Amino acid sequence: MFVDSTGPWFSISEFNISEYCELQLKYIWSGIKITTPQMVCGTQRHKEIENKFIEETKDLEEVTIPEALQLAKQGITSVARELRIKSHNFRLNGIIDHIQITPEGIIILDDKPGNTAYPGSQIQLFMYALAFKDCYKPDLDIRVQVRNRDTLNVIWEDCFNEEVLERMEEKLQRMIELAMGEREFEPTSNPRKCASCSYREMCHAKSN
For the chain, the average pLDDT equals 94
pLDDT(2) > 90: no
Q: What is the spatial distance between Cα 195 and Cα 208, in angstroms, rounded to a whole number? A: 8
Q: How far is CA 131 from CA 3, 26, 28, 169, 185, in A?
A: 18, 23, 22, 11, 25
How many CA atoms within 13 Å lie on the side-chain side of 43? 6
Burial group, residue 160, by CB count within 10 angstroms (0-12, 13-18, 19+): buried
- For 2-202, CATH number? 3.90.320
Distance of alpha carbon 20 from the chain centroid = 14
Percent of the chain with pLDDT over 90: 84
Mean pLDDT across the stretch 175-182? Answer: 95
pLDDT at residue 5, rounded to an integer:
61
- CB within 8 Å of 21: residues ≥ 6 apart: 187, 188, 193, 194, 197
Confidence of residue 108 (pLDDT cuts 50, 70, 90): very high
